[in-house]
Amino acid sequence: MIRKVSNIMVRDFTVVDVLNGVRFIKELALKKDIDNFLVAENNEIVGIITKKQLIAAHPNRIAADVMLNNFVCVSIDTSIWKVKEIFNKNDIDISLVKNGENIEGFITEEILNVELGKHIDLLTGLYKSDYIFYKAIELVENNREMSLIFIDVNKFGYINKEYGHVCGDMILKDIADLLKEFTAPDLHVCRFGGDEFIVLTPYYIDKSEIKAREILKAVNEYEFVNRIPVTISAGIAGKTDFMNKDTDINSVILKLVNTASLASTKAKKDKRGLFVVCDENIDQIA
């Protein structure tokens, strides 16, 4: 479900010695079409030379003069989302990948961004569901409270048939923009699929309910394309007693998503706009 560094890393890398000349390394780069080199001293990796450093380097210098020696290493099991956070925090564009104590390869920002681009919904610009699962697991592992707001558009099939799919797409994009506007930095939004969205919060249900009502109100008051009347339904599910030694984090999160989805459906059927599922009755609806 969540892609890891091991899925996209470069495993076929070239190692040069710390005393190798830049002229030699440049010739090697041209001959073998290599952009990045690992630099070793006494059989230990001590630096990285990227294409950027190589282009700027004088040919009479040696690898030790131009290499990056304050590089960052990530585990081979690190998620692509976590690597993105590491890159942003450290302002880097390449990282070594380790399996235990062994260097297995490297990952560049370019490779990472290509992969992350596959997880962005092209219509709305929101991340797809994988990102929400990653952030949810992060909350669970840190013993944070968590609840999910599951949103879907009422009578969206009718809207597409009556006004056309182009108008339908414009409505989805406007709703996505509203969700971005009404979510704080500690909230995370994704397009789950079709006309469905998820807002992940680090709050318990009472605070998430306030946020959900703000979103419902904003959508109700928004003037959509051709003044098409648009409403949404939302379901909220939350749980705080996550962690024990037997907890399967993935199953907990899947259950919450499913529960919030069913709550949204119930809200739509009952025409109440919002349906909340608390800890004590989560097992009854899921």
Tens of pLDDT, residue by residue over 31-48, are 999 999 999 999 999 999
Whether residue 176 sits in one domain with residue 106: no
pLDDT band at 252 (very low <50, low <70, confident <90, very high): confident
Rounded Cα distance, 50 and 284, in Å: 56
92 lies in some domain: yes
Q: Which CATH number fits the domain that encloses residue 100?
A: 3.10.580.10
CB-CB contact of 72 with 90 (8 Å): yes
The average pLDDT across 253-269 equals 91
Domain hosting 113: range is 5-117
285 lies in some domain: no
pTM: 0.84
Of 117, 134, 150, the last residue of a domain is: 117
87 lies in some domain: yes
Tens of pLDDT, residue by residue over 86-97, are 999 999 999 999
Show the tokens assigned to 115. Answer: 């992969």
Of 84, 117, 150, the last residue of a domain is: 117
Rounded Cα distance, 56 and 216, in Å: 54
283 lies in some domain: no
Whether residue 177 sits in one domain with residue 111: no
Whether residue 47 sits in one domain with residue 24: yes
Tens of pLDDT, residue by residue over 116-132, are 999 999 999 999 999 99
Residue 170 confidence (pLDDT): 98
The Cβ of residue 269 has, within 10 Å, a number of other Cβ atoms equal to 10
Decide which of 248 and 83 is more confident.
83
Mean residue pLDDT across the chain: 91
pLDDT band at 241 (very low <50, low <70, confident <90, very high): low
Tens of pLDDT, residue by residue over 127-164, are 999 999 999 988 888 888 899 999 999 999 999 999 99
Q: 192-195 — which CB contacts under 8 Å span 24+ positions?
A: 192/128, 192/129, 192/132, 192/150, 192/257, 193/129, 194/152, 194/156, 195/152, 195/153, 195/156
The average pLDDT across 176-192 equals 92
- 67: pLDDT strictly greater than 80: yes
Indicate the number of domains in the chain.
2
